[in-house]
Amino acid sequence: MKKYLLFIFILISATFAYAQQKPAYILYNAKGKKVSYDKMIRRLAKKDIVLFGEYHNNAIAHWMELSVAKDLSKKRSLIFGAEMFEADNQQALSDYMAGKITSKGFDTAARLWNNYKTDYAPIVNFAKEIKAPFIATNIPRRYASLVSKKGFGALDSLSALEKSWMAPLPMDYDSTLPGYVKMLEMMGGHGGANMPKAQASKDATMAYFILQNYKPGSLFIHYNGSYHSDNYDGINWYLKRKQPGLHYATITTVSQKDIKTLLQENKHKADYIICVDEDMTNTY
């Protein structure tokens, strides 16, 4: 019996060791030091607002989003929000959360992303299960597109109802923020100066609805593409501009060929960095 138990112990240890040699991801802090998941959860639980930056098609990021939410729900009262839901779809989202419409009805009433069922429905359904609010934070795509073509001034002629689906006008804008500068550089002169403004209209609106729906004593978890919160600008810049006294934390997702050491270019992107093996299967 003792030999059998010893064999099982050795087998389990060997399996665990092998898994550690080839992990799917490694969690780092901003300085590039490895940090445990449990330590991250303990620290996040002390914050007011957490911005979770994802790669929209990354399986590890989506799994982590749900895992983090479940573990934080054991410690704090949660409020959820996401870039993936536009503000004019809030009623449909609220109706689904309240059980007034079915998942099929929600799919009909709201403009859901193509990967909603696989990547976001699990989080929405978890929020529904624990009766936590879920906020549609993003500016409707058609208005961000309008800004990309004509600038912020194009929003002035919208109706009062349409303006209620975005941050109050005029929106603050700093063209020198690293994310917006980098966007222009990546575009190589194509698209013009209005493209970063369209990005800013999303960042400003998401920050606005986060703060509008945040309740003291609760923890607001917001899901967004990593570009919207990397390097502590984007949404983060707008949040701190309006409510500098709140406690914020950011998470981002990066992909590397070798994840055993965080590349210099990925350090300081966020408080916590999920470094994923670039061979990880994508959801689309």
* Helical segments of the chain, H only: 2-21, 37-44, 59-73, 90-97, 103-109, 121-129, 141-150, 160-163, 178-187, 194-213, 235-242
Distance CA 169, CA 246 (A): 23
> 171 or 22, which is more confident?
171
Return the amino acid letter for 270: A
Per-residue pLDDT of 81-134, as tens digits, reads 999 999 999 999 999 999 999 999 999 999 999 999 999 999 999 999 999 999
Assess contact for 66 and 74: CB atoms under 8 A: no
Mean pLDDT, rounded, for 53-64? 97
Specify if 7 maps to a domain: no
Domain that holds residue 67: 25-277
In a domain, 233, yes or no: yes
Which CATH number characterizes residue 229's domain? 3.40.50.11550
Instruction: Report yes or no on 3 lying in a domain.
Output: no
Through-space distance between the first and last CA atoms of the chain, rounded to whole angstroms: 49
In this structure, the number of other CB atoms found within 10 A of the CB of residue 102 comes to: 11
Q: Does residue 225 belong to any structural domain of this protein?
A: yes
- CA–CA separation, 134 vs 207, rounded Å? 15
Residue 210 falls inside a structural domain: yes
Residue 20 located in a structural domain: no
Query: Looking at the 3D structure of the chain, how many domains does it have?
Result: 1
pLDDT in tens, 199-257: 999 999 999 999 999 999 999 999 999 999 999 999 999 999 999 999 999 999 999 99
For residue 8, being part of any structural domain is answered with no
In this structure, are residues 46 and 219 in contact, taking their beta carbons and an 8 Å threshold? no
Q: How many CB atoms lie within 10 A of CB 87?
A: 21
Residue 14 lies in a domain: no
CA atoms within 13 A on the CB side of 47: 22
Q: For residues 229, 234, 236 and 241, what is the CA-based torsion angle, rounded to 10 degrees?
A: 180
